[in-house]
Amino acid sequence: MLVTGGAGFIGSHTCVELLGHGYDVVVVDDYSNSSPGALERVAKIAGRPPAAVHEIDLLDRRALSRVFDEHDIDAVIHFAAKKAVGESVELPVEYYDTNVGGTTALLRAMHDHGVHRLVFSSSCSIYGNATKVPLTEEDPAGPTNPYATSKLLCEQVLTDVCRYLPGLSVLALRYFNPVGAHPSGLLGEVPRGAAPNNVMPYLARVAAGRLPKLSVFGDDYPTVDGTGVRDYIHVMDVAEGHRVALDHLDKGSGMQVFNLGTGQGTSVLELVAAFQRASDTPIPFEITGRRPGDVAALVADPNAVARAWNWTTTRDLTAMCEDAWRFQELNPSGYPN
């Protein structure tokens, strides 16, 4: 199994899931927003390391082709991408280059080496300013930032390629907001930079006293308390969903899309309260203006994947916060360099 971006937050947890179920895993990562230390933790948790790790950029097509030359790849799980909404507004060219260009480079390498099974890491952000919640896979896309647009473009590329190559089987998973950490406390989210882009690691650093307060971007949304509502899903549920997806790639060719979420919406202030309970620590916050590209509410309708795979998420918001806090306490500075 080739996992691109396998040292990242979701990729590393998925590697643990795959290794624990008997898969041999090959990882490709350029470590632009990840650490080799994550893969050391993966090996410790799983009891065995990935079969191989290649430090390359997917845009380096020759290096990527050599990975396929060296390993007998059966299927690919594609995580490698830039993923920060706010940053994408400031750096749109970089996001299209990495996310769309990396996907087309991967597809070419797969085709050249006779690999026809792909699980693609998509995003709920493609729904944009949704007019209703929860969201089904049939609801229209309306991305509001370059990150979301890049994911939608990748889905369109995959749909077109599946028409051109009828033997290709692709599952695109639009997961909602992954949070939490491995319950061991050994593996979690370690974003680069002093101030994380994602809310859960930011909350953890505020609770640990490493950051002074949380900025809540907007309190005038049409939601229960005016703050943004999201469908938070435990990262281990996301990892399990990708592993289960592999079991369904052989059930037909073409492109299929599924939401991965809990179906439960949580506002930012509700998340703050839950994290305060998990950490037993007051978390100061301030309300600031809305962040460009953000939307009021994104909540999944997870019924399609439940019907198709007989699979649902099992971990609740309390587990998400407790696991994230455990990782923060055990790894105050992230992974060792």
Active-site positions read 147
Beta bridge partners of 119: 77, 171
- Number of helices (H), then strands (E), in the chain: 12, 14
C-alpha to C-alpha distance for 23 and 243, rounded to whole angstroms: 10
Angle between helices 268-279 and 317-330 (to 10 degrees): 60
CB 92 within 8 A of CB 135: no
C-alpha to C-alpha distance for 332 and 208, rounded to whole angstroms: 8
- Taking alpha carbons only, the member of 18, 227, 16 closest to residue 119 is 18
C-alpha to C-alpha distance for 47 and 164, rounded to whole angstroms: 41
- Taking alpha carbons only, the member of 257, 255, 258, 275 closest to residue 266 is 275
- For the beta carbon of residue 334, count every other beta carbon within 10 angstroms: 17
